[in-house]
Amino acid sequence: MTASDDRRFMAEALRLSRQNTGLTGTNPSVGCVVVKDGEVVGKAVTAPGGRPHAETQALDMAGERSRGSTVYVTLEPCSHYGRTPPCANALVEAGVARVVVCLTDPDPRVSGRGLAILRDAGIAVESGLMEDEGRRAHAGYLMRQTKGRPHVTLKLAVSADGMLGRRGEEVAITGPEARAEVHRLRARSDAVLVGIGTVLSDDPELTVRIPGLENRSPIRIVLDRQLQLPLESKLVKTARDVPVIVVALPPSGAEAARGSAPSMKRERLIKAGAEIMDASDLDILLAVFAARGISSLLIEGGAVIAKAFLGAGLVDRILLFQGMGTVGEGGLESPLTPPDMPAGFALIRADNFGPDRCFDYERGF
């Protein structure tokens, strides 16, 4: 197998891994490709919900052709017993000859042990192929494992004159192609977050509304310190269909005791199907999200939310969509406009979506 063959098959494994990003719970969405005599004989991605794993599915597809094959996998095969036996052991039992791994697993239950099981069985093991691409594909899982918080992507739509819109007024900054890409971003995210200002101005639904992907809508989170979220908002009306978490300041004992307006609003929101979470610190909030299995968080809020997360150093990726039109005097100025970016970020690509541009910035690994 040549180096170019290895890259081609690993690229296919990475493509597979992205198919179920946002659907595999606390498990990573891993891609696996089994190759025998230059032909793909089995391939799979971690199933929705996290089970079964990619390796066992791909080996089952390959059957007897697994023996003597080369297996390409985007993350080190697991080595611990959970609800299923270790994938490293399954590869050994299948009689594969070589395993090429993109990334080692930072999970302390695995972290090199999976590779050791393979090597001890006489299997040729190589790791680190297309590592940067693998880190992007598994960014949420890696961030939750290494830093105890979700991977955070900040999305902003900016007009040609550097504005986000107008206060109290919904303004279309980008066209349908760019807006469709935002829906695809939601489909790949565990949760999407906005501030109460965005809700009061735009009354967004924050669901995925691309035909065939509607069931991939993420958890919707609103930072709403004073519980201003209207009961008649689209978010509240659909809370029983797609989860809504309202993050508020903790009530004082006196407020709860006297049945204050915030306490009554809290009860009404809960009765409507929303969950109330009390938090006053972003770091703690993200740690709680990670503990609940949220690995990827998409921020779609306005300038206030963007500045808060950027100021706290909690943004890992920035997607800056730039429309062709202008907002003019009285617009809400964006905290970011291309080509200026915060220190530590680098432009990794620029794409066109119809007439609009999207600049993709990434914090260094």
CB contact at 8 A, 195 and 154: no
Taking only the tens of pLDDT, the chain with its 365 residues reads: 799 999 999 999 999 999 999 899 889 999 999 999 999 999 999 999 998 999 999 999 999 999 999 999 999 999 876 666 799 999 999 999 999 999 999 988 888 899 999 999 999 999 999 999 999 999 999 999 999 999 999 999 999 998 888 876 778 899 999 999 999 999 999 999 999 999 998 899 999 999 999 899 999 999 999 999 999 999 999 999 999 999 998 875 544 444 567 789 999 999 999 999 999 899 999 999 999 999 999 999 788 999 999 999 999 999 999 999 888 887 888 988 887 777 889 999 999 999 999 999 999 76
User: What's the confidence (pLDDT) of residue 171?
Assistant: 80
Give the pLDDT confidence score for residue 31 in this predicted structure.
98
What are the angstrom distances between the C-alpha of 178 and each of 69, 157, 274, 334? 42, 9, 29, 18
Sign of torsion, CA 253 254 256 257? positive
State whether residue 117 is helix, strand or coil. Answer: helix
Please count the other Cβ atoms lying within 10 Å of the Cβ belonging to residue 105.
Answer: 24
pLDDT at 83: 64
Handedness of CA 72, 76, 78, 84 (dihedral sign): negative
Beta partners for 244?
220
Please give the pLDDT value at position 111. 80
Q: Is residue 361 within 8 Å of 339, Cβ to Cβ?
A: no
Stated as kind and residue range, the H or E segment containing 247 is strand 244-248
Residue 201's nearest CA partner among 241, 229, 159, 177 is 229
> CA distances (Å), 191 to each of 82, 113, 159, 182, 226, in order?
26, 32, 25, 13, 21
45 bridge partner residues:
31
Token pair listed for 110? 């695995």
Write the DSSP string, 138-183. Answer: THHHHHHHHHSS-EEEEEEEE-TTSEEEBTTB----S-HHHHHHHH
Element (H, E) at 194: strand 191-195
Residues in Cβ contact with 133 at an 8 Å cutoff, skipping those fewer than 6 apart: 11, 14, 102
Determine the 3-state secondary structure of 302 from DSSP: coil
Whole-prediction pTM: 0.92
Distance of alpha carbon 214 from alpha carbon 216, whole angstroms: 5
Strands of 70-75's sheet, edge to edge?
Answer: 39-45, 31-36, 70-75, 98-103, 124-127
Active site residues: 55
Give the three-class secondary structure for 122: coil
Under 8 Å between Cβ of 46 and 53: yes
SS (H, E, C) 25-78: CCCCCCEEEEEECCEEEEEEECCCCCCCCHHHHHHHHHHHHHCCCEEEEEECCC
